[in-house]
Amino acid sequence: EKNITLDRATRIELSCRLDKYSHLKRLQVTWKRGNETIRHMNKTENSWSIQLRILDYSNLGGYSCTLKGEEEISAMFHLQVPKIEGKEKPIVSYEGDTAVMICKSFGYTPIAWTWYMTNGSEQIAINDSLLADKYVINRLSANVTHLKILKLTKEDDGVYWCEAAFELGKSKGKLQLRVLSLMVPLKPFLAIVAEVVILVTIVFLYEIYSKKKEKSAEDEKEFDQVEQL
Amino acid sequence: AFPKGVAIFFKEIQDFFGTSYSEIAWVSSIMLATTYGAGPISSILVNRYGSRPVVILGGLLCGIGMVSAAFCTSILQLYICVGFITGFGLALNLQPSVIIIGKYFLKRRPIANGLAMAGSPVMLCTLAPLNQFLFDNFGWRGSFLILGAILLNCCVAGALFRPIGAATASVKTQVAEEGKDALKEEVTKDAMEMSSPRNITMETKTEEEGGKGCCEKVNQYLDFSLFKHRGFLIYLIGNVLMFLGFFAPIVFLAPYAKHIGIDEYSAAFLLSILAIVDMIARPTTGIIANSKWVRPRIQYFFSFSIAFNGACHLLCPLASGYTGLVVYSIFFGLAFGMVCAMLFETLMDLVGAARFTSAVGLVTIAECCTILLGPPIGGTLIDTFGDYKYMFIKCGAVMVLAGTFLFIMNYYNYHALAKEEKERKAKEEDPKSVRTENEGRNNWNKETAQEGPELEPLREEREGLKKEVNGT
């Protein structure tokens, strides 16, 4: 199986080559796209190839070559648009703070970027000119896009999509935003501070206690000595 | 350990503030620089107030620094909060904890040093996954908040630093003002009777310099006369040289591994191997250094470990493939641990517990420059030649040079000390030479070879906890 990434209209040649089983006779090779058979095939000594013109999204997909002889062998080619990577782990931010989400395209330059917000099951495009004090979309470089969400609230929590538009189609990356209230980290913080204060107090109290014990022991000694005198 | 641990957050913070990688790296550098650069200030404070208040203050500062960092809105504020304030707090932690080992221990001091320094790799190992966990759950702001709270635990460790006696500084002022030849011996007492005895340390140097009152006062706080001390100068020059090549290999080990073609996780694993070997090596070195064969010649052992470290680096470019690098990491971890464990022990051995406070302050500020220069120089070497091996050769060469220098100079120093000891003994038998007695005691103080009763290692592991948050 092979994955081939294409970002613009092009001509491409796919070929299937036979190395080992060349002793097999009566071979029938078919190139298919889905269930459709492709007619125009070039044949050389032990390879079969097709030439394709990829013009738009409909030309992409899975192409397979099948060799039917005594055994059936097939190979699969996946023609696809470049993949966009989002972030697997959620981005954590706080209410009232700013969140920055970044999407990158590796190697291929998209024509345009669009950001989507998920509302229930719908995907709503984010219009930064409409809500300029809430969303800021920046295209830092040709392959990188920035979404800045200001003044976060609990409602901003959820899944976001960054979509890159290529000549041949669109590709999406998923990002997740989690908005926490300030109370969330505050609880462990206060717990640890309390633990520190308790430990320090215990240490100091123990020291004062042991000093008092020593003092009273010394006083007793002095008292004994005085008595002896 | 802490500056390295915080590096996990840098990617996110970089995205958040939209800064470049080098600008973020400054945070770590400022923190490290302040930790070492504020050494003299720390020493002065310890001389004046004793170890415990300084450590508690340091813990508070660290905590405040990180908590305020959680609310930062610009990279400059991060520099100040995480860099300066937390760095300064760390400095206030590092010096007193090293100093207090000298005050508490004598017979088993190398072991104590080794154990205490072992805290650093332990913390590094735990800090990395902890930071990742905190970050996944709380984002970087929440993590800073919680890290601040964790750093407050330094106060707890500080509270356990029970002072042995009254603050020596106030007594020194008295002695200097009276200007008498009040020669009192330093007595180290058992932990049980800690509250009662007064430790009165003598500063003959302050009296000999007489004359300028200002100089005397400065000397009380920070003993600049150490620069006349032969052993101290040897240590200073040797160490300054060594630090030029000390940290760079660690910084560049993972990138070098990736450069040869090893995947990210295995490269990170190399560092883990290093840390684990380091963890075991430090206390072991402490125990070895304490044995009766090594302890009198501990300086030789120290120079040997530095040279060994250098040899490892020189051989590294020969290592091919992953197994070669694993072997290198193991030896490097071993050498690194050996050097770190004895870093302060040798200084104590040369200077004596009395002047160690000031010594450690002066040494750290001198080391500060070379520590900071080391990795960038290595980086420029890599960039200009495009090959990592020159960096390793440079580090190896510098360290072998430092090791040999220390070895030769200490050989000379030991001889000179033995000669002075002989002279002192000869003159002590002569009752008429009171004048030279002064000089004799002077030399005697250089090595606190007091066979006092052994002190219980008071909660050694707490001191280990202390070391966790600090540099090496």
Residue B156's pLDDT is what?
A: 75
Collapse the DSSP code of A7 into the 3-class scheme (helix H, G, I; strand E, B; otherwise coil) and give the result.
coil
pLDDT tens across B240-294, in order? 888 887 877 877 777 777 777 777 777 777 778 888 888 888 888 888 888 877 7
- Asked if the domains at B1-160 and B225-418 fall in one CATH topology, the answer is yes
Checking phi first, is residue B287 left (phi over 0); if not, alpha (psi -120 to 50) or beta?
alpha
Tokens in use for A217? 């022991």
The CATH number of B225-418 is: 1.20.1250.20
Give the residue from B319, B460, B326, B304 showing the smallest Cα distance to B392: B319
Grade residue B221 by pLDDT with cuts at 50, 70 and 90: low
Grade residue A229 by pLDDT with cuts at 50, 70 and 90: low
Identify the structural domains of chain A with CATH numbers, from first to last.
2-80 (2.60.40.10), 84-182 (2.60.40.10)
Contact A177, A99 (CB under 8 A): yes
Interchain proximity A180–B142, CB inside 8 Å: yes
A186 touching B, CB under 8 A? yes
pTM attached to this predicted model = 0.68
pLDDT tens across B89-100, in order? 888 888 787 777
Interchain proximity B139–A200, CB inside 8 Å: no
| Domain segments of chain B as ranges | 1-160, 225-418
Look-up of token digits 């209209």: A9
A102 touching B, CB under 8 A? yes
Q: Is pLDDT at B456 greater than 60 in this prediction?
A: no
Could you give the angle at which helices B39-49 and B353-385 cross, rounded to 10 degrees? 170
Grade residue B223 by pLDDT with cuts at 50, 70 and 90: low
Q: Which residues of B touch A214 (CB under 8 A)?
A: 195-196
Q: Which residues of A touch B152 (CB under 8 A)?
A: 192-193, 196
Residue B214's pLDDT is what?
A: 53
Q: Which residues of B touch A180 (CB under 8 A)?
A: 138-139, 142
Tokens in use for B16? 């958040």
Contact A179, A153 (CB under 8 A): yes
Interchain proximity A200–B162, CB inside 8 Å: no
Q: Which residue of A has its CA nearest to B195?
A: A211
pLDDT tens across A188-207, in order? 888 888 888 888 888 888 88
pLDDT tens across A10-58, in order? 888 888 877 765 666 667 778 888 778 877 777 777 777 888 887 777 7
Q: Is pLDDT at B337 greater than 60 in this prediction?
A: yes
| Closest CB to A185 among B146, B150, B196 | B146
A120 touching B, CB under 8 A? no
- Alpha carbon distance B266, B323 (integer Å): 11
Could you give phi then psi for residue B146, rounded to 5 degrees? -70, -35
Length of chain B: 472
Q: Which residues of B touch A203 (CB under 8 A)?
A: 156, 159-160
CATH architecture of B1-160: Up-down Bundle (1.20)
Residue A15's pLDDT is what?
A: 81
DSSP A90: P
Q: Which residue of B has its CA nearest to A192?
A: B149
Complex ipTM tops 0.85: no
Q: Residue A39, Cβ neighbours under 10 Å: how many? A: 8
Q: Which residues of A touch B194 (CB under 8 A)?
A: none
Q: Which residue of A has its CA nearest to B64?
A: A193
| Comparison of pLDDT for B64 and B449, the residue scoring more | B64
A187 touching B, CB under 8 A? no
Q: Which residue of A has its CA nearest to B71?
A: A97
A192 touching B, CB under 8 A? yes
| Comparison of pLDDT for B65 and B245, the residue scoring more | B65
- Looking at every residue in chain A, the average pLDDT score rounds to 81
For an interface test with A, give the residue of B60, B73, B145, B463 to mutate (most A CBs within 10 A). B145
Contact A91, A101 (CB under 8 A): yes
Collapse the DSSP code of A95 into the 3-class scheme (helix H, G, I; strand E, B; otherwise coil) and give the result.
coil
Tokens in use for B309? 């470290």
Give the residue from B232, B237, B241, B235 showing the smallest Cα distance to B370: B241
